[in-house]
Amino acid sequence: MRSRSIVLGIAALAMAGSLAACGQAGSSGGGTGSNGTATTKAGCAPVAGNDLVVLDDDKKLQNSDNVIPAINTKAATPALTAALDKVSAALDSKTLIALNKQVDIDRQTSAVAASGFIAAQKLSDGLQKGSGTVVIGAANFSESQTLANIYADVLKSAGFTSSVKTIGNRELYLPALEKGEIQVVPEYAATLTEFMNPDKAKPQATPDIDKTVAALTALGKDKGLSFGKPAAATDQNAFAVTTAFAQKNSVKTLSDFASKCSGKATIIGGPPECNSAARPYCVPGLVKTYALSFGSFTSLDAAGPLSKQALKTGKVTIALVLSSDGGLTASS
């Protein structure tokens, strides 16, 4: 699993496989929904299908985990920052899903996917010219490595001598960035904010990306870190249905889903923790933020193959995924 996600109200510590998601195992049934309230509506039964789509989090349940360049301040020249900001401007969630599909499903290398993206977006054109050696650190999952290759190739076009070094988890690469052993890392705004937040009882990341970046900038200053502009692309907790389900029920947003699908026939899938009151970004968040009620909860994995298979085979109506998963159909 990817290592950047804030899950269910606790900050992930950036270790591969660290996606802990939202509750207690098991399911509720009878005449009451899993939120403990009476469930009188019919709800929406699962619809099997091979294509999956994320429902838009239109009420902003999740924090703003936008892709953002993290830079050692001593290396943050105008030319370097401008080149990375140009990447951010071209990177939306649809594009990030497509890049992950190329690498994770179509089995291209991260370097090949990066090169194709740069050419398609013409990111090498019109760059400020800089100089010097820049090492881009990458975490130990493919999305980070693809982003690092994009950064490196664009910086090379801007006149820098650039390379990519895959380091591992955040506990390893962040100290290296602070010390200047590497100069740039592709990061995730909300996750990094909470990773650096000294008071875990008082979260500083929010669903508002501008507020999150302001908090992140303040936290990074004392550590010698600066940040480029955040991309529109996010990699965060999300909820998916099959495309066939979305078309049958005319749902595009979580508000649509809650309005049309609250009821006993609706089955939510996710890791066991997803149904816990201690996990506000999963089932409790759907209940509180979207007033969703449902009939049962099915314990699966943390946004992994079991969850996607359960959707595709019609075992669950909706399930926890990651918003940039290459197996998703990008929302329009």
Q: Does the pLDDT of residue 142 top 50, yes or no?
A: yes
Backbone angles phi, psi at 158, to 5 degrees: -85, 5
CATH number of the domain within which 217 lies: 3.10.105.10
The phi-psi region of residue 218 (left if phi > 0; otherwise alpha if psi is between -120 and 50; otherwise beta) is alpha
168 versus 76: the higher-pLDDT residue is 76
Residue 6 domain-assigned (yes or no)? no
Residue 202 domain-assigned (yes or no)? yes
Using the 3D structure, point to which of 227, 258, 276 is the last residue of a domain: 227
Domain count across the chain:
2
Same domain, yes or no, for 204 and 267? no
77 versus 279: the higher-pLDDT residue is 77
Residue 113 domain-assigned (yes or no)? yes
Q: How far is CA 244 from the centre of its chain?
A: 24
Instruction: Categorize the per-residue pLDDT at 279 as very low, low, confident or very high, splitting at 50, 70 and 90.
Output: confident
Same domain, yes or no, for 109 and 240? no
Same domain, yes or no, for 182 and 73? yes
Same domain, yes or no, for 275 and 183? no
Same domain, yes or no, for 213 and 241? no
Same domain, yes or no, for 96 and 56? no
pLDDT above 70: percentage of residues in the chain: 87
Same domain, yes or no, for 180 and 268? no
Q: Check residue 329 and give its pLDDT.
A: 82
Q: Does the pLDDT of residue 137 top 90, yes or no?
A: yes
Domain that holds residue 191: 67-227
Same domain, yes or no, for 194 and 283? no
Residue 5 domain-assigned (yes or no)? no
Same domain, yes or no, for 180 and 254? no
Residue 266 domain-assigned (yes or no)? yes
Length of the chain: 332
Q: Check residue 254 and give its pLDDT.
A: 98
Instruction: Categorize the per-residue pLDDT at 33 as very low, low, confident or very high, splitting at 50, 70 and 90.
Output: very low
pLDDT above 90: percentage of residues in the chain: 83
Using the 3D structure, point to which of 227, 246, 279 is the last residue of a domain: 227
Residue 78 domain-assigned (yes or no)? yes
Same domain, yes or no, for 309 and 173? no
pLDDT digits (tens, 9 = 90+) for 177-201: 999 999 999 999 999 999 999 998 8
Which residue do the tokens 């996710």 mark? Answer: 270
- Predicted TM-score (pTM) of the model is 0.86
Q: Check residue 41 and give its pLDDT.
A: 80
Say which amino acid occupies 129: K
Compute the radius of gyration of the chain from its Cα atoms.
20
Report, as an integer, the average pLDDT of 160-164: 98
pLDDT digits (tens, 9 = 90+) for 61-85: 999 999 999 999 999 999 999 999 9
Residue 14 domain-assigned (yes or no)? no
Q: Does the pLDDT of residue 59 top 50, yes or no?
A: yes
Using the 3D structure, point to which of 227, 255, 286 is the last residue of a domain: 227
Side-chain-side CA neighbours of residue 59 (13 Å)? 15
Residue 80 domain-assigned (yes or no)? yes
Q: Which of 18-27, 110-119, 301-310 has the lowest mean pLDDT?
A: 18-27
CA proximity to 177, closest of 68, 81, 72: 72
Q: Does the pLDDT of residue 330 top 70, yes or no?
A: no
Q: Check residue 3 and give its pLDDT.
A: 45
Report, as an integer, the average pLDDT of 119-137: 97
Q: How far is CA 209 from the centre of its chain?
A: 13
Same domain, yes or no, for 212 and 296? no
Q: Check residue 280 and give its pLDDT.
A: 87
Instruction: Categorize the per-residue pLDDT at 262 as very low, low, confident or very high, splitting at 50, 70 and 90.
Output: very high
CATH number of the domain within which 287 lies: 3.40.190.120
Report, as an integer, the average pLDDT of 273-294: 92
Same domain, yes or no, for 164 and 212? yes
